[in-house]
């Protein structure tokens, strides 16, 4: 699953999830949004924080 842009249209994942094109917007439940954020700077602190969140969530799930 993913955003509306990822799941819908001809280039999305509609073929993967066996979706037909009839009223596709009524059936999709997006799991996020898509967009671009202009960013300049070091990625190291961002990746470090994401790794910490992933490590913690994996600990919660066992």
Question: If you write DSSP's letter for every residue of 30-60 in order, what string do you get?
Answer: -SS--------S-SHHHHHHHHHHHHHHHHH
pLDDT attached to residue 43? 87
Say which residues have a Cβ less than 8 Å from residue 50's Cβ, sequence separation at least 6.
Answer: none
Q: DSSP character for 14?
A: T
Q: Residue 53: what pLDDT?
A: 92
Predicted local confidence at residue 62, as pLDDT: 84
Write down the pLDDT at residue 6: 65
Outline where DSSP puts E strands in the chain: none
Per-residue pLDDT of the chain (62 residues; tens, 9 = 90+): 566 666 665 555 556 655 565 555 666 666 666 777 787 889 898 899 999 999 999 999 98
Largest CA distance in the chain: 44
Residue 11, both tokens: 């280039």
């Amino acid at each position: 699953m993913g955003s509306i842009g990822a799941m819908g249209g001809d280039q999305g994942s509609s073929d993967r999830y066996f979706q037909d094109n009839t009223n596709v917007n009524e059936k999709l439940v997006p799991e996020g949004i898509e967009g671009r954020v202009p960013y300049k700077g070091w990625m190291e602190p961002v990746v470090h924080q994401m790794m910490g969140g992933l490590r913690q969530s994996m600990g919660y799930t066992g």
